[in-house]
Amino acid sequence: MTTNPSLVQNQPVTSAVPPWWKGAAIYQVYPRSFADSNGDGIGDLAGITARLDYIASLGVDAIWLSPFYPSPMDDFGYDIADYCGVDPIFGNLADFDALVARAHALGLKVTTDLVFAHTSDQHAWFAASRASKDNARADWYVWADAKADGSPPTNWQSVFGGPAWTWDARRGQYYMHNFLGTQPQLNVHNRAVQDALLDVVRFWLDRGVDGFRIDAINFAMHDPEMRDNPPAPPSNKVRTRPFDFQQKIYNQSHPDIPLFLERIRALTDQYDGSFTVAEVGGDDAVREMKLFTAGVNRLNSAYGFDFLYADRLTPQLVREAAQQWPDAPGIGWPSWAFENHDAPRAVSRWTPDGVDPAAFARMKMALLCALRGNIILYNGEELGLDQVEIPFELVKDPEARKNWPLTLSRDGARTPLPWAAGEEHAGFSAADPWLPLGPAHRELAVDRQQDDDRSLLNLTRRLVALRAAHPALRLGRDARWVAAGDLLGFDRIAGNQHLRCLFNLGGKAIDLAAHGADGVVLLALNGADPTILPPCGALWLEIEGTY
């Protein structure tokens, strides 16, 4: 197995300097589970700061911090009670400032999560809004009268199960929530609400933040006419929530959302080098992602769930996802993630039967690093962590508790990062962690992989370096797609640099005689060479001449 590819230095393909985020590798940090500095079993900002040298050693361009704001933690930070603070379990604003300063000193950009579709019901805005129908913030959330029979205003259902409406006796009305009942929906149609959210963006940019991932932004605006959603067409898929029985037309995805995004972009453009990426899920995600990133006055990038919930990794899936984002005028720049805090670990979902998960993890990382767009690595992905089975009595995920056992707990991808195999709790904390450590994770600890040249950790460092060193990988277009059986192939081209990337996503060897595998080998994994791709083999070749 070759896991020490040589780096080939190339001149830039254009004199124009692209923005730092274009083609970037971004490392997602889930703060609760990354590193605990104060021994309470929960990760914190100081713990992240202490480990920033590790993140920088991966060669990534930026970090993305999942929410650290004050929150009752009903949805573990995605229910924000104060957009401009730090929850005490994570530290304080001084800790955040220290994190940003250290990251910048290491050459890392800092991006954070913004949740603009809803807040916590503990937010001061909601306390004011529910107090009366005629105060200054009365229309900052989505309120509606009951039907004549007392039932909710519409048939809309929440993502986490049950109606998307909760009765509030103080106002004598229902308030809307697309997620938990403690996550009331902001009325982002309201210009004053937009102005307040823009003030949040400005607050963090002024503290040195370099960009934002905007969570569930397609949920930010509802249909003011309060029309019922139509039923979803018949499906062979198991439906575990009432939400799955509807076409989500009127509770989300309002056509005015891009106009709000243009206001965000106009503000972020006032700060040199700022970056915005939308998270977009749902039945119409690709159209919405393109809409939210179209032209030059909306968000810089978007990513969806093409891979995050896919049961299998197939050549057809990769080709179809990538070809939805052609290098064409007016088409936005994609971002890709195989794992995150909401989805099961990819090694557990995708490793073919009879294949070594470690070999699959190597090939998977090579594939991610070869894709056109930004790539997002979720903490622990570089170690090959698998999904952890969390017993019901320890489950924290509110959706999993509500729909147990039909909804797979997100907790299994949120377990603590193992830093030192021989230390208590694998070096994550001196106390019992908030979620149990994965039983197989101690052997995958950072200190076990750090000095092993054959480890996934060190391979990840080399792959990210290769991506950064080759304009075709970071910025080039793609071409010549092959998706035949388990064989995936595509070319990456920029100027006079032409690379061919080949992957075996299955468990049987593939003869490459018919697939033009000629050129200088930049990367060969799991026994691959220009004649054959063993199971989970990967090959990157530099081709002479232009395409």
Taking only the tens place, the pLDDT of each residue in 100-115 is 999 999 999 999 999 9
**DSSP-assigned beta bridge partners for residue 168:** 173
Model pTM? 0.95
Per DSSP, helices labelled H in 300-351 are 315-323, 346-350
Among the ranges given (9-23, 125-139, 399-413), the one the predictor scored with the smallest mean pLDDT:
9-23
Is residue 213 pLDDT above 50, yes or no? yes
Structure tokens at 432: 């019992």
Compute the distance between CA of residue 344 and CA of residue 340 in angstroms, rounded to an integer.
Answer: 8
Domain total in the chain: 1
pLDDT band at 238 (very low <50, low <70, confident <90, very high): confident
The pLDDT confidence band at residue 235, using thresholds 50, 70 and 90, is confident
Identify whether 160 is part of a domain: no
Residue 210 maps to a domain: yes
pLDDT value at residue 9: 32
Percent of the chain with pLDDT strictly greater than 70: 97
Kindly tell me the number of DSSP H helices and DSSP E strands found in the chain: 15, 18
Question: What are phi and psi for residue 128, nearest 5 degrees?
Answer: -70, -40
Residue pair 220/282 in contact (Cβ under 8 Å)? The answer is no
Segment 499-511 mean pLDDT: 97
C-alpha angle with apex 279: 468 to 317, nearest 5 degrees? 70
Q: What is the CATH number of the domain that holds 356?
A: 3.20.20.80
Q: How confident is the model over 51-67, as a mean pLDDT? A: 98
Which range is least confidently modeled, 18-22, 26-30, 159-163, 332-336? 159-163
Tens digits of residue pLDDT in 430-447: 999 999 999 999 999 999
Q: Beta 165-168 vs 497-504: how paired, if at all?
A: unpaired
User: Residue 405: what pLDDT?
Assistant: 76
For residue 6, what pLDDT is reported? 34
Cα dist from 188 to 142, 154, 330, whole Å? 9, 19, 26
- Give how far the C-alpha of residue 450 lies from the chain's centroid of Cα atoms, to the nearest Å: 25
Question: Do the domain assignments include residue 538?
Answer: no
Is residue 97 in some structural domain?
yes
Is position 135 within any domain? no
Position 72 in a domain:
yes
pLDDT band, residue 545 (cuts 50/70/90)? low
Contact 115, 67 (CB under 8 A): yes
The residues annotated with a catalytic role in the active site are 215, 279
pLDDT band at 98 (very low <50, low <70, confident <90, very high): very high
Structural domain including 442 reads 25-120+188-467
pLDDT of residue 63: 98
- What is the crossing angle of helices 285-293 and 257-268, to 10°? 40
Ramachandran bin of 373, using left for φ above 0, alpha for ψ from -120 to 50, beta for the remaining angles: left
Does a structural domain hold residue 403? Answer: yes
In a domain, 159, yes or no: no
